[in-house]
Structure formats: C-alpha cells, structure tokens
Chains A and B, each alone.
Chain A
Amino acid sequence: MKKIKKIKIKLNGKFSTINENLSLSIFLKELKIPLKKVAIELNQEIIDKNNLKTIKLKNNDKIEIVHFIGGG
C-alpha cells in the first residue's frame, strides 16, 4: 500500500500535520467550519469561498480562518 505523504501547515497560528494533496474544501469540512460565517486567508491572500475545491494545500501553507466576535 502506498504511504500517504504528510505535510506541515500553520492554521490560525498553530502548526498542524495533514495529508498531502488535501483540498482546502475537504480540510475545512473536516474541521466543521461554518463557511458562511467565516473568511479564509491562505498565505495572506483572501480566498474566494467558491474556489475552495480547486485549491490543494501545500507544505508550509499558512491558513487563517476568522469570524466576527464581540467587540467595541
């Protein structure tokens, strides 16, 4: 059986190891992120949520997922 390669990414400031070739769409689905309530940045660039399926995560990618919280 072919061994799946792992890559290291940084999610909201914390390192995480995931399978290579994972799409951003599946990655976010696994995390159960409510897409309508968040914005996503990949390597400091805002991602159009319609394009999540086409984006494959790469080693050292930096992902930021943000939402609205209480503030002044």
Chain B
Amino acid sequence: MVNDKLIIDKKKFNSRLIVGTGKYKSMAECAKAIKLSGAEIVTVAVRRVNISDKKKPLLMDYIDPKKITYLPNTAGCFNSEEALRTLRLAREIGGWKLVKLEVLGDKKNLFPDMIETLKSTEVLTREGFRVMVYCNDDPLMAKRLENVGACAIMPLAAPIGSGLGIQNTTNIKIIRSQTKLPLIIDAGLGQASDAAIAMELGCDGVLANTAIAKAKKPFQMALAFKNGVIAGRQSYLAGRIEKSIYGSASSPKTGII
C-alpha cells in the first residue's frame, strides 16, 4: 500500500481524499477538519477581497499553500466566460496551473452545463492550465473531456451538497473502464460509506465538502471520510469475492460431530 499514490498531473499524493474549504463555521474549524481528514489537496474559491473589513481572516493564514495544494475552483460560474476569468485570476494569485473547472447550468440542482464545460476545458488546456473537470456521470461526455485535454475526470455522485451518495454506479463503472485519467467522485456524497463505495468502484479519489463541513461533528466526519476512502481503496485493490445467490458455508463440512 506504501506505493499506492494518487497521481494527478504527475504530482503524487498520499491521500485520495480532496476536501472543500467552504461552509465551515470558521477558518479554524476548516483548518482542523482538513488536518484530520488527511487531505493534501483542498478546493478554494476566488472572490472579491473585503476592502472595508481587512481584519477578516484570510484562508492562506490558516491553510498554508506550501503544505497543502490549493485547487482553485470555479464554483458559482454559470458560463465559460466567467469560469475562464476566474481561473486566469486564480493563476495570477500564485501561479496555480492545476485547477478545478466547474461550470454550472442550473441554479436549483447545480448540474454542470456540459457544453460550456467542454468549451472551457479546451480553452484552458490550450492556455497551459491542467484542468480537473467537474462533470455529470455521462461516459460520452467524460470521453470528450478527456479528448480535449482534461487531466482528471470528476463526475458528480449526486447534486452538489445533496448528500444523496452515488446515484448511478453503473455509469461510474463505465467511465472507470474507459479512462486511465484520475477519476474522482465530486459532489453529492453524504457519509463516509459513500466515499468507500466510490473507491470500491475503482475511482482514484473523492472530493467532499458539505458532508464534512455540515456534519453534526465535522471533525469526526473528517476522520470518518479519511478512513472510508482508505477502506474503500483497500477493498478495491484486495478484489471482492464473486456474488452468488446461494450460500457457501465458511466452516469445513468434514468432521462435523
């Protein structure tokens, strides 16, 4: 297991769990949850600096970008233009080339707009970005993203923040079978077992935010997700038994008294 690393854009990570930094009660809570989760990559949003209140704590003061990989995300963007603008600004902040693209198409269910997503992936890749792409669980679109240069495929499990868990395991399996790119389940997980299921399906990692940040005990849930991801990965690598509709006794039939 020692050599079992998550590799994204040639960078190696020990943890297969990526966590979001939104929705926490405070920066301190967020930082502690990240630490407990063991995550080495965190997603961050790009927003206006609060000019009038400079005492507001800065994310970088709590989570050191030298120790934890910041993954700038375009959450909240509803077209390609907004997403491109956001990520170009993100790159300017600190030279980040590895980014997460998320172009939403519907305010209610937060499903991705795949036409805009595909277009943006192509432009960003041409500009030298390494793009991890939030997408729906459609194998055809996943293939198209790969063809235009995505560096990781990040299908949703369910709507963002819904906590429903993986809704279409079959499609995730199909996407897994067709790509060698890192496959990371993004959005919609609700509990640690959802993360374990994602890993058992052969995914390379999972991304969770709301499930941890909004759990009754975020620190405990951060730990649970960490363990869920490890358990799921080991289970996948170990290779599960064949399913059977009949029973198979665990004890030998010989020597019964």
User: What's the nearest-Cβ distance from chain A to residue B69, in Å?
Assistant: 12
Instruction: Please name the residue on chain A nearest to B60 by beta carbon.
Output: A37
CB contact list, A22-68 vs B, under 8 A:
31-34, 36-41, 44, 46, 49, 64-68
Q: Quick check: A68 and B70 within 8 Å, CB to CB? A: yes
Q: Quick check: A69 and B51 within 8 Å, CB to CB? A: no
- How many residues in B have their beta carbons less than 8 Å from beta carbons of A? 36
- Selected from B75, B88, B94, B187, the residue in CB contact (under 8 A) with A71 is B75
- Selected from A36, A38, A39, A70, the residue in CB contact (under 8 A) with B45 is A70
Bound complex: CA of A67 vs CA of B63, how far in Å? 14
The interface residues of chain A lying within 8 Å CB-to-CB of B51 are: 11-12, 14, 31, 65
User: What's the nearest-Cβ distance from chain A to residue B194, in Å?
Assistant: 16
Judged by a CB distance under 8 angstroms, whether B136 is at the interface is no
Q: Quick check: A64 and B90 within 8 Å, CB to CB? A: no
The interface residues of chain B lying within 8 Å CB-to-CB of A49 are: 92
- Which of A46, A65, A67 has most B Cβ within 10 Å? A67
Bound complex: CA of A49 vs CA of B27, how far in Å? 27
CB contact list, B155-204 vs A, under 8 A:
160-161, 187
Bound complex: CA of A5 vs CA of B204, how far in Å? 60
- Selected from A32, A33, A68, the residue in CB contact (under 8 A) with B46 is A68
The interface residues of chain B lying within 8 Å CB-to-CB of A65 are: 48-49, 51
- Which of B27, B43, B45, B72 has most A Cβ within 10 Å? B45
Could you list 12 examples of A-B contacts with CB < 8 Å?
A31-B51, A46-B88, A65-B48, A66-B48, A66-B89, A67-B93, A69-B21, A71-B22, A71-B47, A71-B75, A72-B187, A72-B209
- Besides the contacts A33-B49, A72-B187, what 7 more A-B pairs have beta carbons closer than 8 Å? A49-B92, A64-B89, A68-B60, A69-B21, A69-B46, A70-B44, A71-B44
